[in-house]
A = this chain, B = another copy of it.
Amino acid sequence: MSSADLAATPAATSAATPAYAALTQRYRQLHHLEHLQSLAHWDQASHMPAGAAPARAQAMAELAGLMHRLRTEPAVQGQLAQAGQELLSEAERANLREIERDWRLANALPDALVQRREIATAACEQAWRTQRPANDWAGFLPNLRAVVAVARDEAELLSQLSGERPYDCLLDRFEPGMRCAQLDPLFADLRQWLPDLIQRVLAHQRATPLLPLQGPYPLDAQRALCERVMQLLQFNFDGGRLDISTHPFCGGAPEDVRLTNRYDLHDCLNGLLGAVHETGHGRYEQGRPRDWLGQPLSLARSMGIHESQSLAFEMQLGRHPGFVALLVPLLQQAFGARPEFEAENLRRLLTRVQPGLIRVDADEVSYAPHVMLRYEIERALIEREIEADDIPALWDAGMAELLGLDTRGNHRDGAMQDVHWPAGMFGYFPCYTLGAMYAAQWFAALRRAVPDLDARIALGDLTPVFDWLATHIWQPASRWPTDELALRASGEPLNPAHYRAHLEQRYLGLA
């Protein structure tokens, strides 16, 4: 595929393909409305005064209702059938495939079930905000049971429609094409070698001296440093910006990417690497094919692939020794010359492994066990093998086995730590580790394509990284199924061996 091929605008053939043209016109309209929806989301998390929450919720529900009606208008079904008979280019056929998928998802669930889900998740998430800090598992449990009950019904309904396993149907919403049949051996393999690797890394690092961070690091300087690093990462500030929110995220529209970050006065690296992570998401958004904007073909391929971009930036590049050396003068410029910013010490700070209770604070090596445990529990929950009541015991056993941690009685920093389950987002967690695996796979392919990659990164020449990602991930967007994307990009579908090799190389020095 040449980029000229992708650049062909959907409107070019509209006279000969009226049904396809009508569909693309509808998706352009949805794209414009999504712009406003994303803006309102971003504002809600970064600027909105607390008292405006009810009005904002009503406004967003109104828009969501309009968009749902646009997606489910009866005319669409006929247009889809007719467009399938029209003479379309290969890219247009791919776009039609993605439109069909979007239509199927929007139309699959009866309104009553969608409403039940909204009510159950809103109640659970709302109460969770105070129950979590109070470690109130008993209060949380009935709400979670209700959310699980709706998710089971949804999964079963989708399963009847598609013939897939119930959990696979939920997973497919976030990671199209991924199935338990592929995930199970993937995570079983991880379970074989990762806990042992963690212990070896810990033993290895115990012998390595480390100068800890010596804050405070003024917040304004942290923020300016992040913008400087985002420039180094070639984030386009003419089509995006950086703000502050409680939980960092990448939002907005592809033409107006809104990143947010948070800053810890005593840990300038947390905010810095957070910005690098979100910039990975942001550049994917900014790099999606412009001539197809609004069309499902231009959407990010999956949550796992999106995470592979943020982790390519944060882990593969952001903790690369050559890149870490580039950060030294920027840190010194921001906070003065301090001994903790010496290049080798900075690299050690950024690759320190320390298993902990909180997933979002986990290091690169001890992150996957959090996901593995979540996956095992949520799959069993959805497929009625366990009940929500069983979670604490499974959590304690899993954390002890995988990370050697005692979590008994600490629900707050256990199963209650994340919003995903209260929000009914079963099937999301695996994407984080799939993203880490894909990121390692991309960098392995990149090293084959650019043999002097490490030297060029050390010289501050990051262009080969961005060019490779733009060509192989950003521009193709959703043109191919994920397996085909991976195959075209790296010569093979998902192969977790690159992830293991990367961890062993970086954390144990094994080539």
State the A residues within 8 Å of B (CB). 29, 32-33, 35-37, 39-40, 43, 47-52, 54-56, 58-63, 66, 236-241, 253, 255-256
Contact = CB atoms under 8 A, between A and B. Distances in A.
Contact of A36 (B59, B241, B256): B59
Given A39-B39, A39-B40, A56-B256, A237 B49 contact: yes
Contacts of A58: 32, 35
A61 B29 CA distance: 10
A32 B40 CA distance: 12
Contact of A54 (B39, B48, B54, B255): B255
B49 A35 contact: no
Contacts of A66: 66
Contacts of A39: 36, 39-40, 43
B51 A35 contact: no
Contacts of A56: 35, 255-256
Nearest to A52: B256
Given A32-B62, A35-B55, A43-B43, A49 B253 contact: no
Given A32-B61, A32-B62, A35-B56, 6 more contacts: A36-B37, A49-B241, A50-B238, A51-B236, A56-B256, A59-B253
Contacts of A256: 48-49, 51-52, 55-56
Q: Secondary structure of the A side of the interface?
A: helix
B49 A40 contact: no
A467 to B, nearest CB: 21
B49 A33 contact: no
Given A32-B62, A39-B40, A240 B55 contact: no
Given A55-B253, A55-B255, A40 B48 contact: no
A36 B36 contact: yes
11 contacts: A32-B63, A35-B58, A36-B40, A39-B43, A49-B239, A51-B238, A52-B240, A52-B255, A55-B253, A56-B255, A66-B66
Contact of A33 (B29, B35, B63): B63
A47 to B, nearest CB: 7
Contacts of A55: 35, 253, 255-256
Given A39-B39, A236-B51, A241-B47, A62 B253 contact: no
B241 A51 contact: no
Given A39-B40, A43-B43, A255 B33 contact: no
Contacts of A32: 58-59, 61-63
A240 B52 CA distance: 8
A43 B256 CA distance: 11
Contacts of A50: 238
